[in-house]
Amino acid sequence: MTSRLSLAALLSLSLGLFACGSVPNASAPAAALMPQAAAGEPVLNELYYDAPGTDAGTFIELKGPAGKSLSGYTLTAFDTAGTAYRTLTLSGTIPASGYFVVAQDTTVPNRSAVNVGADLNNGSGSLRLLRSGTVIDAVAYGTPTSGQGEGSPAPTTGAGSALARVPDGSDTNANSVDFRVQVATPGTGNGGGSGGGTTGKKVLFDLTKAEDAGNADWRIDGAYSDYAAALRGLGYAVSSVTGTAITSTTLSGASVLVIPEPQAPFSDAERAAIQTFVQNGGGVFLITDHRVSDRNNNGWDSPEVFNGWDGSTPSSVSAAYQTSLDSDGLFGLGASFNSSFSDPVYTATPLTTHPILNGVGSAGVYVGTSVDVLRGTALMGTGGKTYLAVNTVGAGRVAMWGDSSTFGDNTYSDGSTGSYNNWPNLSNATLGKNVVRWLAGDL
C-alpha cells in the first residue's frame, strides 16, 4: 500500500496534498487531451507502484528531450474514483539519457530526484502530467470507476512488475494500447524500444519429450497458456521447441528453457547441448512430478528423465539414453524417487530469502515430488522436504520445482476444459513468473 509520510520527509521535490477538486485543471475530462503529447513534451513512460511486501523502490519515469527544463511541470495522482490525492511539483532538467526518474527512495537506480510521493496507489488509479495546469499526458491503470487517463485504462500490475510504454515512449492516446506490464527498467528503455527491457529474450517451452502425453497438456497453447501469456506480458518472446530433439541450434539465442514433466529420455548429445547452454549463461527450469507418472507408457517418468535411468523401468535402454539429463550430476538438483501418485497435496512455503520469492507466500504441490539438493539452495518446502531449489552453474542458472500441475490452467490444446485451474491459486502465478525472470537474469 502507499505509505503516508509527513511533508518534512520528502526530498528533492515538494509534495502537496489537495482536497477533492482543488487541483487546477487536473480533473479536466480526458477528451480534452491532445491526440498525443506534443512534440518536445515529455510523456509518462513507466510507473512502478506495487513492490512485493511493503512498497519500496517505486518510481515514476518521464521520457522527453534531454536538457528540457521541468520548471512549471507537476504530477497529480488520482484514486479510483477520480479524486486527486497527491501532487508532486517537478524541477530540474531531463538528463542526457532522456529519462527523468522520480524515485520513492534511494534504492532506485538512475534516479533523477527522490520523493516518497512517487509511491502511487496499488490496483487502480490515474496519473497526469501537467504544465502550468494544462494536461500534457495522462495514464489510467486497472479498473478505476472514474479514470483520468487517455482512452481505456492500461492493465494493472502484480507486485514486482511495472507498467511501461511499449514501444518505448510511444503515445497513441490509448493507455490500453500504449502500456503493458513488464520488468521495471528505471532510467532505461522499455521492452520494444531502444534500451531493451526484457523484449527479445526468448523463453522456450520444450515439447520434444512428450510433455503433452496422456492426460498431461503442458503446452503454451494448452494448460500452460496462462503461464505463457503472463510471460509475454512481461516482455518475453515465448515459443515451443518441437520435433524430436533439443540441439545447440534450437537453443541459439534463447535465454530460458522450460522443461515441464518430460516423458522421454534425453540423448547424450541433447544433454551436452543443454549443459553448454547453461555454462554459457542460459537458464533452465526443470519441472518434475511424482514417480509412476508415465503418461505415454514408455517406462519413463519425469524424475527418471531428469536423473537418469533407474535400471529397471523400462527394462532396457540404449546406451545413448541411459544417463538422460543427469540433472543431479550436472546441476546438483535431482528429482526425488521417493514419491508416488498417492502422496498428499502440500503447500510449500519459503525457506529463506531470494529474489524468486518476492511476493511469494506459498505455492501448491498437487501430488508431486521433492527436490534433492546436492548443490545449490533450497528455496521452498514443507515437512522437511524441498520442493523448489536453484543453483548457479557456470555463467548460467538452473531451477527445479516438484510439480507440473502448479502452473497449469484448466484449458487444453484440443479446446476442452479440465477440472483444475491451479495457476491463480496461492502464489503459483507469481512463483512461475519469478522463476523465469531469475533464470533470465531479470531478478
Torsion, CA 86, CA 87, CA 92, CA 95, rounded to 10: 60
Q: How large a percentage of the chain has pLDDT more than 70?
A: 89
Grid coordinates in use for 427?
502464489
Residue 346 has pLDDT above 90, yes or no: yes
Mean pLDDT of 291-316: 95
Strand partners, 60: 47, 102
DSSP state of 349: E
Residue with cell 534433492: 372
Do you know the residue count of the chain? 443
Residue with cell 528540457: 68
Q: Across the chain, what does the average pLDDT equal?
A: 87
Nearest alpha-carbon partner for 100 in 53, 142, 66? 66
360-417 confidence digits (pLDDT tens): 899 999 999 999 999 999 999 999 999 999 999 999 999 999 999 999 998 999 989 8
Residue 17 has pLDDT above 50, yes or no: no
Residue-wise over 346-377: b if at least 16 C-beta within 10 A, else e?
bebbbbeebebbbbbebbbbbbbbbbbbeebb
pLDDT level of residue 37 (50, 70, 90 thresholds): low
Does residue 314 have a cis peptide bond before it, meaning omega lies within 30 degrees of 0?
yes
69-117 confidence digits (pLDDT tens): 999 999 999 999 999 999 999 999 999 999 999 999 999 999 999 999 9
Q: Is 85 in a helix, a strand, or coil?
A: strand
pLDDT level of residue 187 (50, 70, 90 thresholds): very high
What pLDDT is attached to residue 5? 35
pLDDT level of residue 200 (50, 70, 90 thresholds): low
End-to-end CA distance of the chain: 22
Q: Which residues contact 226 (CB under 8 A, 6 or more apart)?
A: 409, 411, 423, 424, 429
Nearest alpha-carbon partner for 266 in 308, 222, 214? 308
For 363-423, list the strands marked E by DSSP.
363-366, 371-373, 377-382, 385-393, 396-401
Cβ-based neighbour number of residue 8 at 10 Å: 6
